[in-house]
Chains A and B, each alone.
Chain A
Amino acid sequence: MAEEEGGFSPQTVINYLKANNVTHVVWLPDSETNFLYTLMTQEPSLELVTISREGQAFSTAAGLSVGGAKPVILIQNTGLMESGDSMRGWAMGMNIPVVMMVGYRGWTRHGVDTDTAATYTEHFIHAFNVKYYLVESDADADRIQVAFDLAEKTNQPVAVLIGDEFHGFVQR
């Protein structure tokens, strides 16, 4: 597999978290986030809160937000689908302005899914009427800011679907 510069850099994510005064990253590791994890542990302005099931992310973020902190949620699409009722009750129902960065496992630009995690992800998000933005590379990372702005404006969770891994190179 050839690699070249480009793709979606984990440092880009860190920059947006810092620019938006994020205090806590509520997350569950997945196959796509290890590069980002390494950087987050080196960023003193971020406190990592590791959960063991994705539904906990929404109630944890709700408590942090009610207390005046600014969390983001970092999970994979598989875990998001597990978390429907928690997202409904603890984030949407509690009017929590939280950005959730969701690893889009199985996503391909050409649309031929070989992974049902990708097949159902957007259908799931549509069912909850949650706004979302797709980010594939640093070139469209400004959508992360759009998501932060919309979450604040609406007091609702907004998703950023990460269509590539957080590593900063392109896999061919």
Chain B
Amino acid sequence: MFQTADMFKAFAPFRGKAIVIPGRGGRHWINLSDQPDRDVPLGDPAMGGHASFSFGLAMARPDEKVILFDSEGDILMNMGALTTIAEKSPKNFYHFVLDNGVYATTGGQPVPNAENIQYDIIAKGCGYQSTYSFDNLEDFTNNIENILNQPGPVFVTMKVAPEVENTPINQRVRWQKKTRDQTIADLQKELGPRRS
């Protein structure tokens, strides 16, 4: 098991110009990123949708590398999305999953069958050609460059330490620096018109 913040530090040197959807670990990414207009910290529009959103973005922009940091709770909520992603197999899509075993933002209750699920096996079974699983930072660090240099879709699950929140949701400090609308507008300006 390793820390989400350390994972992002190991990932940062290899980001290149990729679009990054930092998901629920975004607070650890937002101050590391040197290209905020290519970051898409959406918060949580509706749980379970980040994979499909990022997949759609990758489909719309096949010339851009799209990297999602998903969570296992989101995966469980919409597991069927993995089959659609695998069917279309966008070569520019990199699907990382932070598996902390719990619903951290609701107080740390375990996800169903938390100790026994192997998300990389599920992704493989859904048709992802390339899957990885890491439970320590050293192995992750040693492999991240190779992972990002191969064609997608790649699925990478990581056992990370839970960061449990118990503060009432309306008292939590918002870590995003921009509104959602501004985030999207900045991304679209950065990317320019889509080639048809």
Contacts and interface: CB of A to CB of B under 8 A. Distances in A.
Contacts of A143: none
Contacts of B60: 23-24, 63-69
28 contacts: A23-B60, A47-B59, A50-B87, A51-B52, A56-B78, A58-B46, A59-B45, A59-B50, A59-B53, A60-B52, A60-B55, A63-B57, A66-B40, A66-B56, A66-B57, A66-B188, A67-B191, A67-B194, A68-B191, A71-B56, A85-B46, A86-B48, A86-B49, A89-B44, A89-B49, A90-B45, A90-B46, A94-B45
A61 B49 CA distance: 11
Interface of A: 23-24, 26, 47, 49-53, 55-56, 58-69, 71, 85-86, 88-90, 93-95
Nearest to A26: B56
A50 to B, nearest CB: 6
B33 interface: no
B56 A51 contact: no
A89 B45 CA distance: 4
Nearest to B49: A59
Given A49-B88, A88-B46, A90-B46, A62 B56 contact: yes
B81 to A, nearest CB: 5
B53 A62 contact: yes
A63 B52 contact: yes
A81 to B, nearest CB: 15
Contact of A49 (B40, B84, B184): B84
Interface of B is mostly: helix
Contacts of B78: 53, 55-56
Contact of A56 (B47, B54, B61, B80): B80
A130 to B, nearest CB: 15
B45 A63 contact: no
A71 B60 CA distance: 10
A67 B56 contact: yes
Contacts of A66: 40, 53, 56-57, 60, 184, 187-188
Interface in B77-102: 78, 80-81, 83-84, 87-88
- 4 A-B pairs with the lowest CB-CB distances in the bound complex, closest first: A63-B56, A67-B60, A89-B46, A68-B194
A66 B44 CA distance: 16
Interface string B184-196: 1001100101101
